[in-house]
Structure 1
Amino acid sequence: MSMTDLLSAEDIKKAIGAFAAVDSFDHKKFFQMVGLKKKSADDVKKVFHILDKDKSGFIEEDELGFILKGFSADARDLSVKETKTLLAAGDKDGDGKIGADAVERRPR
């Protein structure tokens, strides 16, 4: 399964473009722009599993740095600052990674 099976290629392109500058990434706006806020919990879990490159059931800090590439291969890497901000937002139990259960608790 690819990201464009779940999300609009045009929405992904616009969202990637909106955060092309280093240290401009805003995860809430990005996820809204790509259409994740409108998706079912099941579809969001599918996106999570696409982004979980090592299939560990978690998205660890090193995977987060490349999260935009999970949406589009030509996207940039996140900066260290952006990666740490995103990890802090998603890591609810403080274990240094984001679990699939985080998508079940996501705010609408």
Structure 2
Amino acid sequence: MPKLNDVCSHVRSKNAGPFWITVDLFFPDAETFARYSDAPSLTSSAVAAMFGVDPVRMKRFMVTDLSVLKFSYPRATPQGGTMERDMHGGQQYVRLLDVEL
């Protein structure tokens, strides 16, 4: 089975304000997007489980015109707290790279 890292042309995560993180999955073309964007491992509940988030709070957006799948979820603690390990949210995407589609 292909992994997300093999299929997507780019995967990134970043802040979506001080209380949210967003993860963007860029597919190389519309055909690849159509084939993999509805994979069982890319449902809101599956991704929520990977990030330890309540599935009800996970937001999933399909940007078909751009062949992009986006997930947004609340941060465990607000950005910039004393225990912050990834202030800009730029390393959150890594756990998705080996997800099998």
Coarse TM-score class (shorter-chain normalised) = 0.3 to 0.5
Structure with greater contact order relative to length (CA < 8 Å, sep ≥ 6): 2
* TM-score, length of structure 2 as denominator length: 0.39
Task: Answer with 1 or 2: which has the greater Rg.
Answer: 2
Structure with greater proportional helix content: 1
* TM-score, length of structure 1 as denominator length: 0.37
